């Protein structure tokens, strides 16, 4: 798996891969990360990559030439690259998308800046367009990292225990049950006693009940989906 970050500010992204699970995965060559800066392709003598919006409006827009040339260069390097744009005006990114995209060989995340990217670039190059939520960020780098993290977890070998994926939230309609560590009592707060008895059948039943409670409180629409599913779908 190869991840390419198309960004004006690669330094905002690089640090995320210098610790923890993703660093170990990089060290094992389970995936690779590289960067492509549209500014390197600008034909402007000052290497400008933005301009005022046609039709008026506040702020600057990333103009098409540097980004188009950068993405054309990327596609010449690998015609199979799957190009993803991050923007708040797109379909929401879901866990199923992460699992599906983990099967690709090369993903490129295009991070916008300023007031966004010239729409013609998106129409020309986007294989998919995603949003990570109904809010605005300063740039697309954080959103790109969110997708990369979620996808890379589904790449074989990245997680030490692949079974971890099957019990996480959004692998079903129910949110994941609460987790507890040692000691069994801390500041007068106790781990549920059923967790300590070693009866795995009862523990599983309790976890399902706790998952339903958590889902009802935080994501009631998800619980409704769970309740209305046919028995053979569960």
154 vs 62, which has greater pLDDT?
154
Residue 223 φ then ψ, to 5°: -65, -40
For 2-152, which CATH class? alpha beta
Q: Which is it for strands 50-52 and 32-36: parallel, antiparallel or unpaired?
A: unpaired
Reference 197, options 213, 184, 211, 179; nearest CA is 184
What is the domain partition of the chain in residue ranges?
A: 2-152, 169-233
* pLDDT tens digit sequence for 56-80: 767 788 889 999 999 999 999 999 9
For 169-233, which CATH class? mainly alpha
Structure confidence at residue 161 (pLDDT): 63
Distance CA 14, CA 96 (A): 26
pTM above 0.95, yes or no: no
Structure confidence at residue 195 (pLDDT): 86
Structure confidence at residue 164 (pLDDT): 57
Structure confidence at residue 99 (pLDDT): 95
Residue 151 φ then ψ, to 5°: -70, -45
Cis peptide, bond prior to residue 183, ω within 30 of zero = yes
pLDDT tier at 122, thresholds 50, 70, 90: very high
Structure confidence at residue 227 (pLDDT): 80
Structure confidence at residue 166 (pLDDT): 55
Cβ neighbours of residue 153 under 8 Å, at least 6 residues apart? 21, 98, 102, 159, 165
Whole-number average pLDDT of the chain: 89
Distance CA 152, CA 156 (A): 9
54 vs 112, which has greater pLDDT?
112
| Region of poorest pLDDT, from 23-27, 30-34, 43-47 | 43-47
Residue 68 φ then ψ, to 5°: -60, -45
Distance CA 165, CA 154 (A): 8
Residue 165 in this model has a pLDDT that exceeds 70: no
Q: What is the mean pLDDT of residues 131-137?
A: 92
Structure confidence at residue 197 (pLDDT): 87
* pLDDT tens digit sequence for 182-228: 888 888 988 888 888 888 899 889 988 998 998 888 888 888 888 87
Write the DSSP assignment of the chain as a string of letters.
-EEEEE-S-THHHHGGGSSHHHHHHHHTTSSEEEEE-GGGG--STT---EEEPTT--SSEEE-HHHHHHHHHHHHHH-TT-EEEEEEEEEEEP-HHHHHHHTT-SEEEEEEP-TT-B-HHHHHHH-SEEEES-SS--SSSHHHHHHHHHHHHTTSTTSSS-THHHHTSTTSSSSPPPP---SSSEETTEE--GGGGS--HHHHHHHHHHHHHHHHHHH-HHHHHHHHHS-GGG-
Structure confidence at residue 168 (pLDDT): 55
How far from 195 is each of 80, 134, 184, CA to CA, in Å? 48, 38, 10
């Amino acid at each position: 798996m190869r991840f390419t970050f198309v960004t004006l500010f690669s330094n905002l992204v690089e640090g995320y891969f210098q610790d923890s699970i993703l660093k170990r995965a990089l060290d094992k060559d389970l995936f690779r990360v590289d960067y492509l800066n549209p500014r390197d392709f600008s034909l402007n003598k000052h290497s400008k990559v933005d301009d005022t919006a046609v039709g008026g409006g506040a702020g600057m827009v990333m103009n098409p030439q540097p980004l188009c040339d950068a993405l054309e260069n990327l596609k010449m390097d690998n015609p199979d690259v799957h190009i993803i744009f991050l923007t708040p005006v797109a379909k929401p990114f879901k866990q199923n998308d992460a699992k599906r995209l983990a099967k690709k060989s090369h993903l490129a995340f295009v991070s916008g800046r300023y007031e966004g990217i010239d729409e013609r670039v998106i129409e020309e190059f986007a294989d998919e367009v995603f949003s990570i939520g109904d809010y605005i960020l300063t740039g697309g780098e954080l959103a790109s990292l969110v997708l990369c993290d979620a996808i890379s977890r589904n790449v074989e070998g990245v997680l030490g225990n692949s079974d971890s994926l099957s019990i996480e939230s959004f692998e079903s309609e129910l949110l994941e049950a609460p987790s507890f560590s040692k000691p069994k009592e801390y500041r007068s707060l106790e781990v549920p006693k059923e967790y300590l008895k070693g009866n795995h059948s009862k523990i599983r039943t309790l976890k399902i009940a706790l998952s339903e409670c958590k889902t009802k409180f935080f994501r009631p629409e998800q619980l409704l989906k769970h309740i209305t599913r046919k028995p053979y779908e569960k």
